[in-house]
Structure 1
């Protein structure tokens, strides 16, 4: 594994655990795809820093468990915005 990948993976791992932001948000902030962030957190991080990977996995599971709620909220906001902007 290249050094820049290891460094990015560790940076993303630490940032993810500290902020608990979503994979999509972190991908935008680091300028990589959400697939890359997910792969860094689930596949590369356990090889580099196992303890950090365990914390990251718990946060990913939490995000997975509440994603239906986030989606519902986003849809609700979308239609509320349309209702007010159409008037």
Structure 2
């Protein structure tokens, strides 16, 4: 049984911009949890401990998140991802 994505409501897509919301909808529940941790300024290690997963697993999820959100390697990826999260979910 899959858990619905927390940003998939019509209100979110019209209120915060379809493009940002639709990109975040590509994320799995776990990736969204990791992105929330990044947006809260937490380290990969802290996020891993809170979710009960390995730090390397957090890093692997982040690579996928950056790819899915189209955040290039030359940008400060953590900052851009956190800003996208906050822009869509304030």
**TM-score range with shorter-chain normalisation?**
0.3 to 0.5
Higher relative contact order (CA 8 A, sep 6+): 2
Please, what TM-score do these two structures have when normalized by structure 2?
0.45
- The structure that is helix-richer by fraction is 1
What is the TM-score of this pair, normalised by structure 1?
Answer: 0.47
Structure having the higher Rg: 1
